[in-house]
A and B are shown apart, each in its own frame.
Chain A
Amino acid sequence: MPNSHPFPSGPLARYLLQIADDQLIMGHRNSEWTGLGPILEEDIAFSSVAQDQVGHALAFYEYLQAECGAGDPDQTAFNRPENQMLCNGLVEQPIGDYAFSLVRHWCYDHAVRLRYESLSGIPNQTLQSIAVKLRGEVKYHTFHADTWMKSLLEGSEESRFRMLAAIKEVWPLALGMFESWVGEEDWLVELAGSGQGWYPGEAALRLQWQEQAFRSLQTWGVDVEKLGLEKMDPVLGGRQGYHTVHLAPLLEEMTAVFRLDPQAEW
């Protein structure tokens, strides 16, 4: 195979690739609800969110191709070995039950919202436009997730019990979304040196995300302390190319058609 998928270089490219890989894998996972949603509207909702997410991944893969020397978006998405994928462990997990998928959706899309809000402050017209555009779309995702978190946490005893269990299961994985990555520290120094404050770094993003998440959970009557969320350790590795056992089979399935003829025109 010709080397048609050069790895983009530089911290900005790497950061964008992480976002894109998260979106691609999350979109693929969410699409697994198509045809299986508990009610028609939810089937459609998860399918639509999935469609958005794959579209967002594409927007970044296209930018990486145009501006950062990456290969064709299809090659970047479907033709990288597992250890070159930079997605986090949360998005790799199978869909589980609906409570798990909803809590993941809520945790994930709020994190994406924060990333897009931050990215829309970048002094780069193209990326700024992309971030502003995608941020608008994510507003529908967080709205949908918030609605169901509230309904089910304030719903019946069973729904509340199942949501609380899902929150505990998701949390360490969700914290892993903010794993520090190779080059981040130097980049933060460089950004600060050139007066760019748009990217606060992973640790700061995590704090911001967790603070907002706790506030919402408390409004819905969740005792954050009792659940032990503050003391949980993140599941790490994804940003370094070390993945949970669920990514390999997912990639295998996701790329099966592509691998039949990697140079095919679609």
Chain B
Amino acid sequence: MVTPTESADLKDSNLKGNIPDGLTPDLLRYWEVLDQVPDPEIPAISVVDLGIVTRLTVGDGGVVQVVLTPTFAGCPALKWMEKTVREALLEAGAPEVEVQTTFENPWTSDRISEVGREKIRNFGLAPPPRRRPGCVGPDLEALAHAACPRCGSENTSMKSPFGPTLCRSLHYCFDCLEAFEQFKPL
């Protein structure tokens, strides 16, 4: 299985991940396990860095309860992610695992951690622009001149708001003269 641990340089960086602070050792261990579960469509990034794990608690008898939220409602990878999350926790010694998916804390691309954004860039995708204050929903204006993940140029244009997966759009860089993909803001 591919694990999102490569880029050793990121490990020592000061970039923040999405594991909450101040956890008990037990919870921290489970979060770290999930931080090794890759997103099936962009395996460079973990489900934790992607920001789809919204809650992790340990209930009676050590039952681990995980709440996930989909990036896009029609994400076909969701069932797969529920399965891999469950399996990873069981393998790490959780006696029982309950995985639930809800829209309670709806996902936005701002939930991707700093580490996650860097991994997305290393993977060759432009990370999503952060939402400007006051902007309702995805900031499509920012997409018109997305920064090229290769050369950083903003002399680019969006070719289509829809790409190979629901969470990517298609762009062209006039400086590299190459097409690139952008992780869509939501």
Contact = CB atoms under 8 A, between A and B. Distances in A.
Interface of A: 41-42, 44-45, 47-49, 51-56, 58-59, 125-126, 129-130, 132-137, 139-140, 143-144
20 contacts: A41-B159, A45-B162, A51-B74, A52-B73, A52-B166, A53-B74, A54-B74, A55-B70, A56-B74, A58-B73, A59-B103, A126-B104, A130-B103, A132-B106, A134-B73, A136-B138, A139-B137, A143-B161, A144-B160, A144-B162
B104 A129 contact: yes
B170 interface: yes
B166 A135 contact: no
A129 B162 contact: no
Contacts of B137: 135-136, 139
Contact of B73 (A48, A126, A133): A133
Contacts of B76: 51
B160 A139 contact: no
Contact of A140 (B105, B106, B138): B138
Closest 7 CB pairs of A and B: A55-B74, A55-B73, A133-B106, A48-B162, A136-B137, A45-B162, A41-B160
Contacts of A58: 73-74
Secondary structure class of chain B's binding surface, majority of residues: loop
| A interface majority secondary structure | helix
Interface residues of B, number: 26
B72 A55 contact: yes
A137 B186 CA distance: 7
B103 A139 contact: no
Contacts of B70: 55
Given A51-B76, A135-B137, A143-B161, 11 more contacts: A44-B163, A55-B74, A126-B103, A129-B104, A133-B73, A136-B106, A136-B137, A140-B138, A140-B162, A143-B140, A144-B161
B7 to A, nearest CB: 29
Contacts of A41: 159-160, 162, 170
Nearest to B72: A137
Nearest to A138: B137
B75 interface: yes
Nearest to A133: B106
Contacts of B164: 44
Contact of A45 (B104, B108, B161): B161
Interface string B103-132: 111111000000000000000000000000
Contacts of A140: 138, 140, 161-162, 184
Contact of B106 (A44, A129, A139): A129
Nearest to A56: B73
A137 B73 contact: yes
Nearest to A55: B74
A52 to B, nearest CB: 5
Contact of B75 (A42, A53, A55, A136): A55
A126 B102 CA distance: 9
A49 B103 contact: no
Contacts of A48: 162-163, 166
